[in-house]
Amino acid sequence: MAAEVHALDFVLVVLLLWLGWRALASADLFKAVVQFIVFGLLVSLAWVRLGAPDVALAEAAIGAGLAGALLLDTLARLGRKGATDEVRPLGLTPARAGIALASLGLVILLVASVLALPESWPGLTAPALQQLGASGVTNPVTATLLNYRGYDTLLEIGVLLLAVLGVWILDAEAALPAAPADPMLSLLLRVLLPLTVAAAGYLLWVGAHAPGGAFQGAALLAAGGVLWHLARPLSLPASRPVRAAVVLGFAVFLGVGVATAVFGGGFLTFPPAYAGAVILLIEAAAMVSIAVIMVALFVGRPAQGTK
């Protein structure tokens, strides 16, 4: 358990560095997008090797899956205006030199701060594991995200909410005209949609004691939604039901926070007896909202225009 493990890690690191460089430097935007998708796959493997399967799961779902779909769709919309494969010469301009210098400064700062870390610091692992019994779940990552630092997750859902509001508000490029129905895509949808819904429910439930959770489940649901939109074009205007679905997760999370602040120990301080149920409730609502938000981001503004 030494040489073979190091060989795998070495190949992974070399591929990541090479792909990162190629995805940034490719003049061909389509090639860059494909390289970015493969980069996401390998980053997911890298997180596995770093012992963080929760992050690997999120990266696999969002980085390798949905981000690729969004980028390809964006590329198609750019292409319609005749901006295909914009050539970007790799010369050194003052602006690029400035960015390079600033990046170098940031790298030096980061390296210096890593070197300044104490040699042996106990970290927060011990206190996190110590409180696990009162957190309502047995997966320390879920306990951290939903209980110890619920604030962060609440605001992350808020960021996604703002993103979809931005897409709705901006007079963005309208969706492409719908292509004629494709029998193979309908078949794929019929096979894959039930599987993604079942797997999303599984990930939501398993998040309490193993890697999984609302974001990963939502990415799977959203993938099903994207496939649906491709097979039978959806229209997701900012109607009342869609708006309700989009704010549901944030509203439930905030509502629980206010309720615990008024009746309990403080904002987002869950009583240990109900913590498990409360976390599941928040995650279920968040999963629905995040999935609708992601599909709405992909669908964009309705083709006919709402003005």
Q: Which residues contribute to the site for another protein (CB under 8 A)?
A: 1, 4-5, 7-8, 11-12, 14-15, 18-19, 22, 30-31, 34-35, 37-38, 41-42, 44-45, 48, 53, 56-57, 60-61, 64-66, 68-69, 72-73, 75-76, 79, 176, 179, 182, 185, 188, 192, 195-196, 199, 203, 206, 210-212, 216, 219-220, 223, 226-227, 230
- Measure the CA–CA gap between 252 and 153, rounded to whole angstroms: 13
Of the pair 163, 193, the CB lying nearest another protein is at 193
Quick one: DSSP state of residue 181? P
Closer to another protein by CB, 180 or 266: give it: 180
The two tokens of residue 248 are 């549901």
- Tell the smallest beta-carbon distance from residue 192 to another protein (Å): 7
Least distance from C-beta 303 to another protein, angstroms?
14
**Pick 46 or 256: Cβ nearer another protein:** 46
Residue 43 near residue 35, CB atoms below 8 Å: no
CA distance 39 to 35: 6
CA 16, 18, 20: angle at the middle one, nearest 5? 65
Give whichever of 229 and 268 is closer to another protein, judged by the CB atom.
229
Smallest distance, another protein to C-beta of residue 5, A:
6
Tell me how crowded residue 37 is: count the other CB atoms within 10 A of its CB.
19
Least distance CB 258 / another protein (angstroms) = 34
Min CB(101)–another protein separation in Å: 26
Which DSSP string do the residues of 139-177 spell out, in sequence order?
Answer: -HHHHIIIIITHHHHHHHHHHHHHHHHHHHHS-PPPPPP
Choose between 226 and 268: whose C-beta lies nearer to another protein: 226
What is the torsional sign of CA 24, 75, 168, 221? negative
